[in-house]
Amino acid sequence: MYRTRVLRGIITNLRSFKTSTSLQSAHKISQKTSINTINELYKQNSKLSVLTAHDYISGKIANDSDVDIVLIGDSLAMVALGYKDTNEIPFDEFLYHCKSVSRAVSKSFLIADLPFGSYESSISKAIESSVQLISKGRVNSVKLEGGIEITPTIKKLTDLGIPVCGHIGLTPQRLNSLGGFKVQGRSVDNALKLIETAKQLENAGCFAMVLEAIPSELAKIITENISIPTIGIGAGPYTSGQVLVQADLLGLGGKDSHVPKFVKQYLNGYGASVEAVKNYVREVKDVKFPVVGKHTYKINENVLEELEKKLEKQ
């Protein structure tokens, strides 16, 4: 009797599993998001949510918030390490951060930036760096900045089975030739070039591309002219998905940190944190923390008595 009931239960579960091929249920049973899931979401016109992470805690926050893709962006050089720009971070330091994020991310698809200096000089250098990020950093895919000049590298990496995400528009690693972190694609020539570049990146084998800091209408045209997802940051609502730097979204930067116009701050994380720590400091000074019984360990009465006796004798 019991066994048939169990069997019936298993069969019902199997049936519902078979019929629930929708992606929502895939998320519910906490599967790791694969490149196939990303492609399916794109085909279904479901917007892709992407968020950066730079360590174990921010990786966990992103993973547990069900973002489709976690990006280990080289912006962590500035946001988490205080470097002046993204070009300053050595590859080994970046890899160390990838390792800590990937230990936290069980569900979201993981992309890592190829940091400045790790892919430009040759295709083999790009392969070596990507292999490190995948084998040691445990990421699923790499992202690199650039246009037509970088397409042979993209083609080789994708041929080798490494999913590549492109990145055009404001490419922060090129701040020295762009003249700073400036909005791109505002002239006819520049806009035309970006549309052409997007097509070339698709042809080279990118599975997606980031569009950073370009006018919304241009992002719309690019998105409509290619058949892979566009992930916008400062590119308006018409892209296939959105990405933000986690520290920006959570407002962790503090008073004198400059946040780009495209950021929506969903929390004053810095303010809330300073407030909390100030409370801690006050309670330490006032001996209100720790509280006996609540934050303390007990010792057996007999042990304490014996201890005191022994101390008296000494």
Ligand X SMILES: Nc1nc(=O)c2c([nH]1)NC[C@@H]1CN(c3ccc(C(=O)N[C@@H](CCC(=O)O)C(=O)O)cc3)CN21
Ligand Y SMILES: CC(C)C(=O)C(=O)O
Catalog residues that contact ligand Y under the rule CB under 6 A: 52, 71, 73-75, 113, 210, 212, 233, 243, 245
Out of Mg ion, ligand Y, ligand X, none, what residue 213 binds, judged by CB under 5 to 8 A for its kind, is ligand X
Which of 76, 157 has the CB closer to ligand X? 76
Binding to ligand X, residues 203-262 (CB under 6 A): 213, 245, 247-248, 260-261
* Residue 113 interacting with Mg ion (CB under 5 A): yes
Q: How far is CA 248 from CA 1, 80, 251, 269, in A?
A: 58, 11, 5, 9
- The residues facing 141 across adjacent strands are 111
Candidates 127, 131, 178, 183: give the one binding ligand X (CB under 6 A): 183
Candidates 79, 142, 165, 194: give the one binding ligand X (CB under 6 A): 79
* Residue 172 interacting with ligand X (CB under 6 A): yes
- Give dist(CA 281, CA 314) in Å, integer: 38
CB of 74 to ligand X, least distance (A): 7
212 included as an active-site residue: yes
Which of 126, 210 has the CB closer to ligand X? 210
* Residue 181 interacting with ligand X (CB under 6 A): yes
Binding to ligand X, residues 103-162 (CB under 6 A): none
SS (H, E, C) 90-141: CHHHHHHHHHHHHCCCCCCEEEEECCCCCCCCCHHHHHHHHHHHHHCCCCCE
Asked if 119 and 156 count as a contact pair (C-beta separation under 8 A), the reply is no
Which one, of 293, 265, 244, 281, lies nearest residue 71 by Cα? 244
Each as own residue / partner, the long-range contacts of residues 37-46 (CB below 8 Å, 24 or more positions apart, any chain) are 37/68, 37/109, 38/68, 38/69, 38/109, 38/207, 38/208, 38/229, 39/207, 41/68, 42/208, 42/228, 42/229, 42/240
Which of 162, 165 has the CB closer to Mg ion? 165
Catalytic residue among 145, 149, 212, 275: 212
Which one, of 240, 222, 220, lies nearest residue 230 by Cα? 240
Cα 294–chain centre separation: 37
CB of 224 to Mg ion, least distance (A): 25
CB of 35 to ligand Y, least distance (A): 18
| Crossing angle between the packed helical segments 188-204 and 216-225, to the nearest 10 degrees | 30
Cα torsion 288, 290, 292, 296 to 10°: value is 180
Out of ligand X, Mg ion, ligand Y, none, what residue 178 binds, judged by CB under 5 to 8 A for its kind, is none
CB of 172 to ligand Y, least distance (A): 7
Which of 26, 154 has the CB closer to ligand Y? 154
CB of 31 to Mg ion, least distance (A): 27
Binding to Mg ion, residues 57-76 (CB under 5 A): 73-74
Pair of tokens at residue 303:
């042990």
Cα torsion 20, 21, 27, 31 to 10°: value is 110
CB of 78 to Mg ion, least distance (A): 10
| Site residues for ligand X per CB under 6 A | 75, 78-79, 86, 170, 172, 181-183, 213, 245, 247-248, 260-261
Interface contacts to Mg ion, rule CB under 5 A: 73-74, 113
**Residues annotated as part of the active site:** 212
